[in-house]
Amino acid sequence: MTRRIYEPYAYSDAARTECIWPLPDHPWPQLNGDIVSEVAVIGGGYTGLSAALHLAQSGVSITLLESEKPGWGASGRNGGFCCVGGDKLGFTKIAKRFGNEAAKAYFATQCDAINLVRKLLETHEIDADTHSDGELQLAHRPQAISDLKSEAEQLKTLGVSSQFLPGDALAERGMSGTFQAGLHVRLGFALNPGKYVFGLARAAQSAGADIRAHSPVTRITREGGSYVLHARTGTLRAKKLILATNGYSSDDVPNWLRGRYMPLQSNILVTRVLSDEEIAAQGWTTDLMAYDTRNLLHYFRMLPGKRFLMGTRGNISASPQGQRQMRGQIKRDLSALFPKWAHVETPNFWSGLVSLSRDLLPYIGPIGRWENAWTGMNYHGNGLAMSTWAGAQLAQLAMGETAGSQVHQSPLKRFPMAGFRRNYLHAAFLGYRLIDGPAPSSPEA
Ligand SMILES: Cc1cc2nc3c(=O)[nH]c(=O)nc-3n(C[C@H](O)[C@H](O)[C@H](O)COP(=O)(O)OP(=O)(O)OC[C@H]3O[C@@H](n4cnc5c(N)ncnc54)[C@H](O)[C@@H]3O)c2cc1C
């Protein structure tokens, strides 16, 4: 597992040490010796765990191998926005490419994905500190107000209700920052990602899935119609394979994957507990999960314990120094967007890897020409709900049923000059920054 495109820091515990959602101690067994299962799953995030749960519930024998512990990757350290998403292309371009009906069907899968998470929380009695009735989009500059209005019109055609909030209405509703207007979309909710992923893993295990931690797969070979997954401490042999490694994938597990995904860092900063006076002074009392209209967006929400979480993307270096710079940048942005909190300490910062595709679409489908082998990946940083749904779809594929949508099945193209693809991010981020306009700056500055 050497062919990964970031510095080792990105794949180490160091990147998640300060995450406020530690992985609970649980005696997950390790792969030991040579075992056989009907389906093998690689990766213990939402994609792999949801696939494992749905397979086990249908009585299929399934073993999941995870490098670290279930939830160690993005699934146990994300912002907890359970919302529509999964692509970066957008409805209009998807409709242009696949047709209006296919775009609508794809949008419906995003709503199904949210409903699936809600159902899993209820069925398996996972208390994941949910809050937020929908999401709030916030115009970061006057020009973005018309974008919010167009978005509201488009959502209406898709049967989703939303409410446009002019600038002065934001303050009245406890949404005061430095934003020009808002759009409250009644879709989705927020949750504690650590509690959700652990609950999902326990539910899969209780349903009969064999989950092995600390069992990184270093090689996949084929023997007599079976896949053989090689880990340090043993092998797993299975007729069917599901790959669920997303941003933590390696270009050589399997080789087909090389250059078909672009890992990207997402970063989160969390304040200490805010006092009621501090919250009132800023005027941000809403519990809605929110994000601004930048391409390199800021996403934020007040956590149930009155700590404020803010995340963003846009860094290329995964070195400790690069991380320090990103921490400083989010702190500056937080101070600029919420000036009354400029003095507030921010003790927790961490990062993780999401993944993009060349076509800016999520993928659920076969691993090249391999028989009985599938993957689900590339949710463009919005995969909490979509990866859970993808896992359920992958389980269906492994049980011989059809799954996914036309959009999800679009073949996964390779980035040109795959080994150097991280460099494309320089141009992409520069372009986004030019489109987004000036970085947030404090009114006092
Ligand atoms: C900081 C951050 C904030 C985010 N915020 C949000 C948000 O608010 N809302 C939202 O919708 N999405 C968000 N996302 C994205 C979301 O977390 C991901 O899309 C989702 O978790 C992907 O799940 P996954 O199971 O596909 O991948 P992951 O959760 O990354 O799991 C992949 C797993 O595969 C394992 N693995 C890799 N290689 C091997 C191997 N060879 N052998 C065994 N195991 C292996 C890894 O250890 C890892 O645990 C965020 C992501 C990050 C990093």
Q: At what angle do helices 91-98 and 100-123 cross, to 10 degrees?
A: 120
pLDDT of residue 258: 95
What SS3 string covers the chain? CCCCCCCHHHHCHHHHCCCCCCCCCCCCCECCEEEEEEEEEECCCHHHHHHHHHHHHCCCCEEEECCCCCCCCHHHCCCCEECCCCCCCCHHHHHHHHCHHHHHHHHHHHHHHHHHHHHHHHHCCCCCCCECCCEEEECCCCCHHHHHHHHHHHHHHCCCCEEEEEHHHHHHCCECCCCCEEEEECCCEECCHHHHHHHHHHHHHHHCCEEEECCCEEEEEEECCEEEEEECCEEEEEEEEEECCHHHCCCCCCHHHCCCCEEEEEEEEEEEECCHHHHHHHCECCCCEEEECCCCCEEEEECCCCEEEEEEECCCCCCHHHHHHHHHHHHHHHHHHCHHHCCCCCCEEEEEEEEECCCCCCEEEECCCCCCEEEEECCCCCCHHHHHHHHHHHHHHHCCCCCCCCCCCCCCCCCCCHHHHHHHHHHHHHHHHHHHCCCCCCCCC
Residues ≥6 apart with Cβ < 8 Å to 96: none
Please give the number of the atom of ligand 1 that sits closest to the Cα of 380. Answer: 19
- How many Cβ atoms sit within 10 Å of the Cβ of residue 91? 18
- pLDDT tens across 233-253, in order? 999 999 999 999 999 999 999
- Kindly tell me if the per-residue pLDDT of 292 is higher than 60: yes
Q: pLDDT-based confidence at 438, cuts 50/70/90?
A: confident
> Could you give the C-alpha distances from 177 to 139, 170, 338, in angstroms and in order?
11, 9, 5
Residues ≥6 apart with Cβ < 8 Å to 374: 241, 242, 243, 364, 365, 366, 367, 394, 397, 398
Higher pLDDT: 441 or 416? It is 416
pLDDT of residue 443: 58
Pairing of strands 234-243, 373-377: parallel
Q: What is the mean pLDDT of residues 432-437?
A: 88
Q: Is the CB of 43 under 6 A from ligand 1?
A: yes
- CA torsion angle 113 294 141 275 (round to 10): 70
Q: pLDDT-based confidence at 297, cuts 50/70/90?
A: very high
pLDDT of residue 445: 42
At 268, phi and psi to the nearest 5? -130, 140
Q: Is the CB of 384 under 6 A from ligand 1?
A: yes
How many angstroms does the Cα of residue 18 sit away from the middle of ligand 1?
Answer: 17
Q: Is the CB of 389 under 6 A from ligand 1?
A: no
How many angstroms does the Cα of residue 246 sit away from the middle of ligand 1?
Answer: 6
Q: What is the mean pLDDT of residues 39-58?
A: 98
Q: pLDDT-based confidence at 2, cuts 50/70/90?
A: low
Residue 381 exposed, middle or buried by CB count within 10 Å (0-12, 13-18, 19+): buried
Only one residue has tokens 């990946």, namely 377
Q: pLDDT-based confidence at 404, cuts 50/70/90?
A: confident
Q: Is the CB of 247 under 6 A from ligand 1?
A: yes
Q: Is the CB of 70 under 6 A from ligand 1?
A: no
Q: Is the CB of 76 under 6 A from ligand 1?
A: no
Q: For domain 8-78+194-260+359-416, give the fold.
A: FAD/NAD(P)-binding domain (3.50.50)
Q: Is the CB of 1 under 6 A from ligand 1?
A: yes
pLDDT of residue 442: 63
Q: What is the mean pLDDT of residues 176-203?
A: 96
Give percent of the chain above pLDDT 90. Answer: 91
Q: Is the CB of 42 under 6 A from ligand 1?
A: yes
Q: Is the CB of 137 under 6 A from ligand 1?
A: no
Q: Is the CB of 387 under 6 A from ligand 1?
A: yes
Q: What is the mean pLDDT of residues 299-316?
A: 95
Q: Is the CB of 244 under 6 A from ligand 1?
A: yes
Probe target for ligand 1 pocket from 218, 228, 245, with the most ligand atoms within 8 Å of CB = 245
Any idea where the domains of the chain sit in the sequence? 8-78+194-260+359-416
> Could you give the C-alpha distances from 98 to 89, 91, 362, in angstroms and in order?
12, 10, 14
Probe target for ligand 1 pocket from 246, 251, 388, 393, with the most ligand atoms within 8 Å of CB = 246
Q: Is the CB of 19 under 6 A from ligand 1?
A: no
Q: Is the CB of 362 under 6 A from ligand 1?
A: no
How many angstroms does the Cα of residue 196 sit away from the middle of ligand 1?
Answer: 13
Q: Is the CB of 309 under 6 A from ligand 1?
A: no
How many angstroms does the Cα of residue 24 sit away from the middle of ligand 1?
Answer: 17
At 279, phi and psi to the nearest 5? -65, -45
- pLDDT tens across 92-136, in order? 999 999 999 999 999 999 999 999 999 999 999 999 999 999 999
Q: What is the mean pLDDT of residues 147-153?
A: 95
Q: pLDDT-based confidence at 178, cuts 50/70/90?
A: confident
Q: Is the CB of 251 under 6 A from ligand 1?
A: no
Probe target for ligand 1 pocket from 354, 356, 364, with the most ligand atoms within 8 Å of CB = 354
Separation of alpha carbons 124 and 196, rounded Å: 10
Mean of per-residue pLDDT scores for the chain: 95
How many angstroms does the Cα of residue 144 sit away from the middle of ligand 1?
Answer: 30
Q: Is the CB of 354 under 6 A from ligand 1?
A: yes
- pLDDT tens across 315-363, in order? 899 999 999 999 999 999 999 999 999 999 999 999 999 999 999 999 9
> Could you give the C-alpha distances from 108 to 91, 93, 104, 361, in angstroms and in order?
12, 16, 6, 15
How many angstroms does the Cα of residue 145 sit away from the middle of ligand 1?
Answer: 32
